[in-house]
Chain A
Amino acid sequence: MKILASLARGSLIGYTALFFAFIYIPLVLIAVYSFNSNPINMMTWTGFTTDWYAQVLGFKTAISESALYIESTDQLVQAVWNSLMIATSTTTIATVLGTAIAIALYRFDFFGRRFYRVVMFMPMLMPDIVLGIALLIFFVNAGVNLGLTTIIIGQCTFLISYVFIVVSARLAGMDRTLEHASADLGANEWTTFRRVVFPQLLPGIVGGALLAFIISMDDLVITYFIAGVDVTTLPMFIFAMLRRGIKPEINAIAVMMLTFSFVIASLGLYLRSRQK
């Protein structure tokens, strides 16, 4: 029986190791093969090169003209620039609104609170394609030109929910005795909020903002429907590249994106999980 139990335990640990391998080996593979010099078959190793990275970043490389696939680095730079601009705007709006509603739902008792909580989860549950086309129909009917503004508004509808959830978790875990102490010591409501509540809340707000930023940078589906013809974001650019055929430069772009997301998301998750 003992042997059986330890056997079960061992296989469970083995299974979990496989589980993590399944998640991370593909990510490691792409990082390795992004340095592969083979221009045609990216999964057959022919030698080490950093040319694909250089190519993407717009440097002159030894790769022959016929093996080049990015029409212009300018397009890519423009897409990255658009994504950053959108993400900055959406993060600002979503953080303010998401924090406001989290405070309202956790610090006030009012009729319809449960309703609000359910509504706040709806944009996250809604399949993104449904939200995307609903926004498309809405903007076209309202006579709004599709472009950066519509993307920013559209992304905010679901990013507010993400910020809301992160900030709520922070609020739920907060110690209220400090606030009572502050009030007892004669601080007024605003001072208490500014000096006691807000500093405790800040990691949650920053964490939520970072996660919103990264989700905005990565959003494809909703943006795809409401971007119009003139604006391309980074995920849209890659999606279009993929549909035309797979080229080694995509590897390099992908690895740079993964690295960027890992850094920002790690920071965001760290701030979210930090207690007190």
Chain B
Amino acid sequence: MSSIALRRRAQLGLLLGPVSLFLAVFFLGPLAIMIVTSFLAPGLYGGVEWTWYPHNYGRILGFADPMFEDFDPVYIAIFLRSLKIAALTVIATLIVCYPAAFCISRLSERWKNFCLFLITLPFFTSLIVRLFIWVLILRQTGLVNSVLLNTGVIARPLELIYTDGAIILGMVYIFIPFMFMPVYASVEKLDWTLVRASLDLGAGPIRTFLRIILPLTAPGIAGGAVIVFIPALGNFVVPAILGGAKVMMLGNLIEQQFLAARNWPFGSALAMMVMAVMLVLLFVYVIVSGRRGIDAATGR
């Protein structure tokens, strides 16, 4: 090996070494320990017992530890409900972002960049503050209710906050940039000559949309759907603030297991359910969009 090649090797090692070590120890390591913990028995006083114990998953999926409890479908119900809320969030975010992406993609370069800046900016402002504002707007004495009461539209305050709808609204509000960016990327690349050709050849606007525009922008929609669905599923801040005590989601349940119930193995098993959904989604995404999709998503 020539000395130049050796030097490049050394440089590469210097650049990669520290990051690899850091992520191996503090990222992959914790994940591995969490996976192990999810198969261990919970100790009596909040600790962990080092015995094989698949019933953490059993409590969720239907084979609970026969010694201690009967199977309670409440956990699977919370899981399904979280899936439903996450799915509705994806759909709502898409409806909010998709038409706007078309409009912005047709603007001049200057305005385009400004709009993209305006959309990205809130992502970097405090999440908790942005959710807090919706509490002020939606709660019983909040803005919407006081306006409607004062104008006589309603006689009694509406129950807006602490509902599934409030959670979905909060999630849409914080996840807009996540959906907008990938959708916008594919809308901007859309070849409008194909759309014109379709219209010239006699296809109506609806048919053109369904057969040309939608398939061509599908990769962006799929990408946005995945990166909104994953954090929505495990979210615990939004339900904690806008869902009150009434609406339980996977995120709150996990938090409870760690900070209140102190059943870490069960909490880990719940987190693994979130991970499982994430891996399935990513797997499907990779299969559908292929290697090129990964390269497009990870830049280059």
Contact surface of A with B, Cβ cutoff 8 Å: 12-13, 15-16, 19-20, 22-24, 26-27, 29-30, 33, 41-44, 97-98, 100-101, 103-104, 108, 110, 114, 116-123, 125-131, 133-138, 141, 153-154, 156-157, 160, 165, 168-169, 172, 211, 214-215, 217-218, 220-221, 225, 235, 238-239, 242-243, 246, 250-251, 254, 257-258, 261-262, 264-266, 268-269, 273
Contacts and interface: CB of A to CB of B under 8 A. Distances in A.
Given A134-B34, A215-B124, A156 B129 contact: no
B214 interface: no
B298 A121 contact: yes
Interface stretch (B52-60, B73-81, B270-278): B270-278
Contacts of B299: 117, 165, 168-169, 172
B29 A269 contact: no
Main secondary structure of the interface of B (DSSP, over half): helix
Given A20-B118, A129-B234, A41 B103 contact: no
Given A29-B143, A126-B275, 13 more contacts: A23-B118, A125-B282, A131-B27, A135-B26, A137-B33, A137-B264, A156-B22, A211-B124, A225-B258, A242-B132, A257-B129, A258-B129, A265-B125
Contacts of B125: 27, 218, 257-258, 261-262, 265
B293 to A, nearest CB: 12
Contact of B127 (A26, A137, A169, A220): A220
Interface in B31-82: 31, 33-34, 37
B165 interface: no
Interface of B: 8, 11-12, 14-16, 18-19, 22-23, 26-27, 29-31, 33-34, 37, 96-97, 99-100, 102-104, 113, 115, 117-122, 124-130, 132-137, 139, 141-143, 146, 173, 176, 227, 230-231, 233-237, 240-241, 251, 254-255, 258-259, 264, 267-268, 271, 274-275, 278, 282, 294, 297-300
A193 B176 CA distance: 39
A-B CB proximity, top 3 nearest: A127-B234, A265-B124, A138-B30
Contacts of A217: 126
A156 B6 CA distance: 31
Contact of B236 (A129, A172, A243, A269): A129
B129 to A, nearest CB: 4
Contact of B104 (A16, A168, A243, A261): A16
B133 A30 contact: yes
B111 to A, nearest CB: 11
A5 B227 CA distance: 33
A254 B241 CA distance: 15
Contacts of A108: 8, 11-12, 15
Contact of B227 (A13, A101, A125, A239): A125
A273 B113 contact: yes
Contacts of A242: 128, 132, 135, 241
A26 to B, nearest CB: 4
15 contacts: A19-B96, A20-B118, A41-B146, A43-B146, A100-B15, A129-B235, A129-B255, A133-B264, A134-B33, A141-B33, A165-B299, A220-B127, A242-B132, A257-B126, A257-B129
Nearest to B282: A125
B36 to A, nearest CB: 9
B187 to A, nearest CB: 12
Contacts of A29: 133, 136-137, 143
B99 A268 contact: no
Contacts of A273: 113, 117
Q: Which of A125, A126, A134 has the most CB of B within 10 A?
A: A134
A221 B236 contact: yes
A153 B19 CA distance: 12
Contacts of B133: 26-27, 29-30, 254
B121 A43 contact: no
A235 B30 contact: no
Contacts of B12: 104, 108, 110
A200 to B, nearest CB: 18
